[in-house]
Amino acid sequence: MKPIRVLLGALAALMLLPASALAQSVEPAGSGDNYLQPIVLANQQNPLPLSPSVLGFTVDTTNYTTQNDASLFGGNGQEFNQCGNSIYGKTVWAVFYTDRYGRVDLTASGFDSVIGLASFDSPSNPAPKGGLCTDRLLGTIESFNPDFLPTVKKNHWYAIQVGGAQQQDGSIPGGLITVYAELLKPQEVQGDAGVSWTPARGGVKLSLVRAGGPKGAKVKVSCLKKSCGSKSFTSKKPLLKQTFLKSNPMAKFTTRLKTQPEAEAHEAATTNVFQNKTLKNGARLVVTVQETDQIGEMFYWDVKNNKVGTKHILCIEPDGKQTAALGKCDGK
């Protein structure tokens, strides 16, 4: 049997262990040095729990290495070891599974380090895909910028990589390091919608439907119960720019931009649609504002007795399949 198959079998077996057995644990020397023998924080039976629960581990990486395996890391086979201009090594790997959308807050404490987060398909197809990394802090603590936390998807696997950041003298630090993973609810889209109208025979005539959201948000205006067509567009207001990996799946990690947003960046852009359109009594005018991996918003009005009723607002889960009372969506 080829060595790679032996390692895949070992990884698959690890995935079946209860996550609670490994949470907040001190790992024996050598744990997680090899990507295919990671520290398992959470699996499909025990997914990464939502905050305030925090899972973590402590391990001594003094004698840890970086791997060379083209079947896993592609290219020249070198394990990810560069984040922006930062070189790192003596890496430790941990994996977790998520059963909801969200943002993951990763923290490493012990020595000057780099943190990376990569996704992979499954224990039977474990090659890590490109992801995000951070080396923004000097000293013994490292974490992602809280305003730009990595997002995770529902029913997906992820791998955490932590390594010592190369020092000015060329050395790579190692030793005791503690890594924590906390799953937070998805970010919530800040959209906006409003309606101006006049009474009409059998319904209302719209003079303005104002709808929009942050740049990149997908906005849709439509009707339920009584068809009135639909209008979809992408909001174009300048917003926070985030850099994601755009090269091949085996490429190195990339960092997020560190520029600060302008004050107006959080304001919603709005566009007038459905001008002069007539809505029949019994129709429900619906505006949805959604963005990838975020909790969206739904605004709606019921038309009755030649009037537009009160505006209602619901939240939309990131998968777009479920709505709930505002504030009740949690990424599940």
Q: What is the pLDDT of residue 268?
A: 55
| CB atoms near residue 167 (< 10 Å) | 12
**Parallel/antiparallel/unpaired status of strands 102-109 and 218-224:** unpaired
**Pairwise CA distance, residues 26 & 32, whole Å:** 12
Taking only the tens place, the pLDDT of each residue in 81-138 is 999 999 999 999 999 999 999 999 999 999 999 999 999 999 999 999 888 999 999 8
Residues 6+ apart with CB under 8 A from 3: none
pLDDT band at 241 (very low <50, low <70, confident <90, very high): very low
> DSSP of 268-286, one letter per residue?
PEEEEESTT-EEETT-EEE
Taking only the tens place, the pLDDT of each residue in 54-74 is 999 999 999 999 999 988 988
Q: C-alpha distances in angstroms, 6 versus 11, 43, 185?
A: 9, 20, 37
Please report which residue ranges of the chain form alpha helices under DSSP H.
3-15, 70-73
What b-and-e string marks burial along 243-267, b requiring 16 or more CB atoms within 10 Å of the CB?
A: eebeeeebbbbbbbeeeeeeeeeeb
Q: Is the pLDDT of residue 6 over 60?
A: no
Retrieve residue 258's tokens.
């560190």
Q: What is the pLDDT of residue 285?
A: 95
Whether the full predicted model's pTM is greater than 0.85, yes or no, is no
Q: Is the pLDDT of residue 261 over 50?
A: no
Retrieve residue 227's tokens.
């068809």
Q: What is the pLDDT of residue 263?
A: 33
Q: What is the pLDDT of residue 102?
A: 97
Q: What percent of the chain has pLDDT over 70?
A: 83
Q: What is the pLDDT of residue 249?
A: 32
Q: Which residue has the tokens 């969200």?
A: 102
Q: What is the pLDDT of residue 275?
A: 87
Closest to 59 in 3D by CA, of 24, 96, 7: 24
**Pairwise CA distance, residues 118 & 133, whole Å:** 9
Q: Give the phi and the psi of residue 229 in degrees, each rounded to 5.
A: 80, -175
**Pairwise CA distance, residues 284 & 71, whole Å:** 54
pLDDT band at 14 (very low <50, low <70, confident <90, very high): very low
Q: Is the pLDDT of residue 10 over 50?
A: no
Do residues 109 and 102 make contact, with C-beta atoms less than 8 angstroms apart? no
Taking only the tens place, the pLDDT of each residue in 162-202 is 999 999 999 999 999 999 999 999 999 999 899 999 999 99
What is the mean predicted confidence (pLDDT) over 291-317? 96
Residue type, 98: T
Q: What is the pLDDT of residue 269?
A: 63
Q: What is the pLDDT of residue 253?
A: 53
What is the mean predicted confidence (pLDDT) over 145-162? 96
Q: Is the pLDDT of residue 36 over 60?
A: yes
3-state secondary structure of 205: strand
Taking only the tens place, the pLDDT of each residue in 202-226 is 999 999 888 888 888 999 999 988 8
Do residues 223 and 280 make contact, with C-beta atoms less than 8 angstroms apart? no
**Parallel/antiparallel/unpaired status of strands 39-40 and 86-98:** parallel
Contacts 24+ apart (CB under 8 A), 305-312: 305/281, 306/199, 306/200, 306/201, 306/202, 306/203, 306/204, 306/281, 307/199, 307/204, 308/195, 308/197, 308/204, 308/279, 311/193, 311/194, 311/195
Q: Is the pLDDT of residue 300 over 60?
A: yes
Give the mean pLDDT of the chain.
Answer: 84
